[in-house]
Amino acid sequence: MKKNITTNSLSQEDIHSFSKKRYEMKKNIHAIEIKDLVIDFGESLAVDNASFTIERGELVTLLGPSGSGKTTTLNAISGLLRPTSGKIFFSGLDVTKFSPQQRELGLVFQNYALYPHMTVYDNIAFPLSNDKHWKEEVLEKTRTSQHKIFEIILKHYGVDGSSIELFNKKFYYLIDNPKETIKYLNELIAENNNVIDNEVNNYNFLVTKSIAEGSSLTKKVLKDLKHLKEQKYADIKEAEIQIAHEKAVIKVEHDNNALKNGGKYDYSFVNPVISKSKENISKLEEKIEEIKNNYKTQYALIKSEYESKYKEAKSRNAMALKNAKEELKYKKKIQKLSPLYAKLLEIELNRNKELQKNQLEYKKFLNDSKLSADESAKQKMQAEFLAKKEEILKKEVYESNLVKEEISKLENYSKVSPLLQKIAEIKARYKMTLKVTKRDYREECLKLFEPLFEKNQITKGSFSKKIQILISTLPNDLQEKVKVLSKDVLTIQEAIIRDVLEVAKRVEITKNLAKRPTQLSGGQQQRVAIARAIVKKPKILLLDEPLSNLDAKLRISTRKWIRSIQQELGITTVFVTHDQEEAMSISDKVVCMSTAKVQQIGSPIELYSKPKNEFVAKFLGVPEMTIFEAKVDSKGYVKYNGKNLLKVPSTYKKSTIDVGFRGEALTESDMGTFEGEIRVVEYLGKEIQAQIYIKEMDKISNVFLSSKLKYDIGEMVKLNIKNNDLYHLFDVDTKERV
């Protein structure tokens, strides 16, 4: 059992030592860890059990087609979206329930989201004015620089080393101890919130599901009504075309009749064709009326069915939400209690559930037996109900007494959860640590500097004024050192100006600071968005398709610039794109996603050269990999056109296998294994790319040609693989790499 350490039993040295140990432990922890992440929107699963890690300073790309779950995963990492289940850790700290502000990260979206009414300067400065953590870091840097200045003065005036060492220690306590205590407090609060984690996730999921189900039903009814309307107009249109045809037939018959009678129509003549057409028109007009009536009937039916389903879903979801809310309310009570008192509450809750169940069964019996005159059966059931009720109450009293007896044996057993007690203790420790470290450091300052003030006969002015006079007595070389350090002794407003100008210079937009975003090009706006994201010096930078609004040339130069900035600053970066060329060129690691699942994780070259499955093989690489099905003989050789291509691994026992190769893996050869007809040829300057139809595979394959300068459509070419290692083998059924 852990010893319960009280606030008074920990010295500032203990806290500082604890801080150093935790720092060493955390150095090797992943910058980001995604663990069993599930995001379910009710009508669709957006992310399905995703797990991966990102190391400090890495640029990791989430790559996949539209609907793969990459942006949804990024939104979960940012805190803009609450997962259905799973965990998100930043440097070992569970941030799953943290808001985006608490996560201390930079965000850049596809549309940049700059404030159009603000200048570029104000857009970049805005997050600094509202960021508590950045302000704390500025104050810490100011204090550190001030302390270094104090140290220069003390050393110059010959203050003994042991006194300076103690002074330094007091400063480290002032900076580190409150910070470490608050980190530990946040971890405890996160641990306490984990007690109700399942209930919170369940309630949030039901809220999402309820909205999604209502939305799904509404979308379906609108789609059905639209289809019904389109069908009505199509049927009426068809009938009207037939009516027009019948009228045309009548007109022709009228004209023919008139021609026979010198230009006058003979009304005495009964034309069977006209009679038939008129009859058809009458029927078609009736059909149109019938279509309109059927439409009204079907419309009312679909609407009524929708209202009924919507009402049923709303009622069902409301009941599920009510139950989930009750469960959460109960779990929140449990969260505050120590184990034995939590057990007492659980006994009480079980009693209420059993009594409610017993009451419902009795009411059901009374409703079912209303028409029955058998009073003896009713009396018997009532007796059973009362006996069951008494049994439930006796059971509760017995179980409660056992727990109460256990509590009475424990000395000073608290009703409050040990974790909440610990949280209260750490909060008190934090307040005390702030107070004590400030007091100790201030006292040490006065103790060391008062003799120096006296020695130099500095008697007037504040402590800061006296320090400035002391600095003026230092040699020129030391005054220069103090001058350099003084650059970091800033007010918050001065720090904002410094950081904005510094980041503007870094991203090359200094000359545009007075402009508004609407006066900038797409590339410049993108740089402003990135400047705004990195000005806080976040530990993590999230980029959601930031290059998609730029033209092809600007995309290439901007992605190189982003990579350069990221490496220079060493920021852990998550980059979302559907463009595999972008992902390959910019990433340390790629997380390839499809249909809500992580398909493969690795370096760009790993994914390209050893794709885990056929999806990754086809999605990565331009042009797309050619994959065809081939036979495997009894000796394990892949057969193509009667030839042995290569041998499959001995563990593969199936008679067919999928074989893949990339365009650049082939070379032209008169003795080539593959022969195909050129269907399309593209002259790209440095290379010639062609699409050839290979009859034996019944596939169009993308290849590169180089044996001559011009090729004709319909021309036959023969190709060989450069090396058997360039073939990719996939299981014919699972499509996984063999």
Q: Which residue did the predictor score with more confidence, 201 or 391?
A: 391
Crossing angle of helices 272-336 and 197-260, rounded to 10°: 170
Report H helices in 4-131: 12-26, 70-78, 120-129
Distance of CA 330 to the CA centre of its chain: 30
Q: pLDDT tens digits for 337-348?
A: 888 888 888 888
Model confidence at 657: pLDDT above 90: yes
Q: Which residue did the predictor score with more confidence, 589 or 200?
A: 589
Measured CA angle at 212 (ends 207, 217), to 5 deg: 135
User: Alpha-carbon distance 501 to 509, whole Å?
Assistant: 9
Phi and psi at residue 508, to the nearest 5°: 60, 50
* The pair of three-digit structure tokens given for residue 704, joined into one six-digit string: 């590169």
Contacts of 444 (CB under 8 A, 6+ apart): 166, 167, 170
| % of the chain beyond a pLDDT of 70 | 93
pLDDT of residue 2: 38
pLDDT of residue 40: 84
Helix, strand, coil % in the chain, rounded to nearest 5: 60, 15, 25
pLDDT of residue 234: 93
Residue 626 pLDDT level (bands cut at 50, 70, 90): very high
pLDDT of residue 121: 95
- For the chain, give the mean pLDDT: 86
Model confidence at 363: pLDDT above 50: yes
Q: Which of 399, 364, 362, 403 is nearest to 380 (CA)?
A: 362
Query: What secondary structure does DSSP assign to 24-41, as a single string?
Result: HHHTTS-SEEEEEEEEE-
Query: What secondary structure does DSSP assign to 595-628, as a single string?
Result: TTEEEEEE-HHHHHHS-SBHHHHHHSSSSPPEEE
Query: What does the pLDDT average to over 126-153?
Result: 90
Model confidence at 13: pLDDT above 70: no
Model confidence at 112: pLDDT above 80: no
Q: pLDDT tens digits for 132-143?
A: 888 988 999 999
Q: pLDDT tens digits for 427-441?
A: 888 888 888 989 999
CA atoms within 13 A on the CB side of 161: 0
Residue 293 pLDDT level (bands cut at 50, 70, 90): very high
Residue with tokens 């104050």: 139
pLDDT of residue 24: 56
End-to-end Cα distance, the chain: 51
Residue 3 pLDDT level (bands cut at 50, 70, 90): very low
Q: How much is the CA Rg of the chain, to the nearest whole Å?
A: 39
Model confidence at 8: pLDDT above 70: no
Measured CA angle at 272 (ends 266, 278), to 5 deg: 95
Query: What does the pLDDT average to over 88-112?
Result: 83
Q: Which of 394, 223, 224 is nearest to 301 (CA)?
A: 224
Model confidence at 733: pLDDT above 90: yes
pLDDT of residue 492: 93
Question: For 565-600, what is the HEC assignment?
Answer: HHHHHCCEEEEEECCHHHHHHHCCEEEEEECCEEEE
Residue 522 pLDDT level (bands cut at 50, 70, 90): confident
Strand-pair partners of 644: 639
* The pair of three-digit structure tokens given for residue 153, joined into one six-digit string: 């003065």
Q: Which of 507, 573, 498 is nearest to 540 (CA)?
A: 573
User: Alpha-carbon distance 731 to 655, whole Å?
Assistant: 11
* The pair of three-digit structure tokens given for residue 477, joined into one six-digit string: 């070389």
pLDDT of residue 265: 62
Distance of CA 293 to the CA centre of its chain: 50
User: Alpha-carbon distance 473 to 522, whole Å?
Assistant: 54
Decide: helix, strand or coil at residue 710.
coil
Report strand pairing: 656-661 vs 666-668.
unpaired
Cβ(727)–Cβ(644) under 8 Å? no
Q: pLDDT tens digits for 322-339?
A: 888 888 888 888 888 888
Which residue type is seen at 681?
A: V
Output the pTM of the full model.
0.67
pLDDT of residue 6: 42
Residue 20 pLDDT level (bands cut at 50, 70, 90): low
User: Alpha-carbon distance 271 to 276, whole Å?
Assistant: 9
Q: Which residue did the predictor score with more confidence, 655 or 547?
A: 655
Residue 4 pLDDT level (bands cut at 50, 70, 90): very low
pLDDT of residue 684: 85
Residue 556 pLDDT level (bands cut at 50, 70, 90): confident
The answer to which of 188-197, 343-352, 489-498, 675-684 has the lowest mean pLDDT is 188-197
Q: Which of 726, 677, 722 is nearest to 700 (CA)?
A: 677
Query: What does the pLDDT average to over 506-514?
Result: 90
Q: pLDDT tens digits for 177-217?
A: 788 888 888 888 878 887 787 788 788 778 877 887 888 88
pLDDT of residue 615: 95
pLDDT of residue 398: 85
Query: What does the pLDDT average to over 233-258?
Result: 87
User: Alpha-carbon distance 471 to 482, whole Å?
Assistant: 8
Model confidence at 407: pLDDT above 70: yes
Query: What does the pLDDT average to over 659-674?
Result: 91
Domain 31-104+538-617 has CATH 3.40.50.150: no
The answer to which of 358-372, 668-682, 688-702 has the lowest mean pLDDT is 358-372
Q: Which of 596, 591, 587 is nearest to 559 (CA)?
A: 587
Model confidence at 92: pLDDT above 90: no
Which residue type is seen at 150?
A: F
User: Alpha-carbon distance 501 to 505, whole Å?
Assistant: 6
CATH of 623-730, one of 3.90.380.10, 2.40.50.140, 2.40.10.10, 2.40.30.10: 2.40.50.140
Query: What does the pLDDT average to over 88-104?
Result: 86
The answer to which of 5-9, 31-35, 378-382, 712-716 has the lowest mean pLDDT is 5-9
Residue with tokens 């920990």: 10
Residue 365 pLDDT level (bands cut at 50, 70, 90): confident
Which residue type is seen at 663?
A: G
User: Alpha-carbon distance 425 to 420, whole Å?
Assistant: 8
Contacts of 656 (CB under 8 A, 6+ apart): 629, 630, 631, 632, 732
pLDDT of residue 719: 92
